[in-house]
Amino acid sequence: MNVLIYLVPMALGLGLAGLFAFLWALKSGQYSDVDGAAVRMLSDDDLEK
For other proteins, the binding residues (CB under 8 A) are: 1, 4, 8, 11-12, 15-16, 18-19, 22-23, 26, 31-36, 38-40, 42-43, 45
- Tell me how far, at minimum, the Cβ of 38 lies from other proteins, in Å: 8
Q: Give just the sign of the alpha carbon dihedral 22, 23, 27, 32.
A: positive
- Tell me how far, at minimum, the Cβ of 1 lies from other proteins, in Å: 5
| Rounded distance between C-alpha atoms, residue 17 and residue 25, angstroms | 12
| Rounded distance between C-alpha atoms, residue 32 and residue 26, angstroms | 8
- Tell me how far, at minimum, the Cβ of 27 lies from other proteins, in Å: 8
